[in-house]
Amino acid sequence: MNESPTFTDQTIEDIALGMIECHLPKERWTHGAHWAAALWLLRYRPEIAEPQAMGAAIRAYNESVGGVNDDTSGYHETITIASLRAARAELVRHDADTPLSQILAALLAGDLGRSDWPMAFWRRDTLFSVAARRGWVAPDLGELPF
């Protein structure tokens, strides 16, 4: 089922800044919040939305809330890169002045609103392998449409 909380442009910015500044409460780091941060960073801080910088930011955030980044939990490179590609594609589908809250609502209303969306493109064993967590692993069920 798609997540359907209401995000304002201000809450989207607060989530993104809270994540990169490591003060977002862990319970606010939801599926929708991941997309909110990605969209905001792509639009306003694209240097952080590059995979290497995003990986560092997510790892730091995870550790700041008591999480770990290891072979089974925490940062996941393949999902992050695929998500950034999807968020970038969603941004391009809208005018540059479209509010992020509107773009996020559209994204969450579609297939990407499901937290299991990557399973349409990767077998479970592939996606949750150490290799996919640590680096990019191409989809093995179908090509990404973005």
Instruction: Say which residues have a Cβ less than 8 Å from residue 145's Cβ, sequence separation at least 6.
Output: 89
2 pLDDT more than 90: no
Q: pLDDT grade, residue 6 (50/70/90)?
A: confident
The predicted pLDDT at position 5 comes to: 66
Task: Spell out the domain ranges in the chain.
Answer: 9-134
Mean pLDDT, all residues of the chain: 95
**Is residue 34 within 8 Å of residue 24, measured between CB atoms?**
no
CA atoms within 13 A on the CB side of 114: 8
Residue 1 — pLDDT band, cuts 50, 70, 90? very low
Q: What pLDDT was estimated at residue 100? A: 98
Q: Give the residue-averaged pLDDT of 26-36.
A: 97
**Residue keyed to tokens 């809250």:** 101
In the chain, % of residues over pLDDT 70:
97
Compute the distance between CA of residue 91 and CA of residue 68 in angstroms, rounded to an integer: 31
Q: Which of 13, 130, 21 is nearest to 78 (CA)?
A: 130
- Work out the average pLDDT over 70-93: 97
Average pLDDT for residues 78-105, to the nearest whole number? 97
For the cut 50, the answer to whether the pLDDT of residue 123 exceeds it is: yes
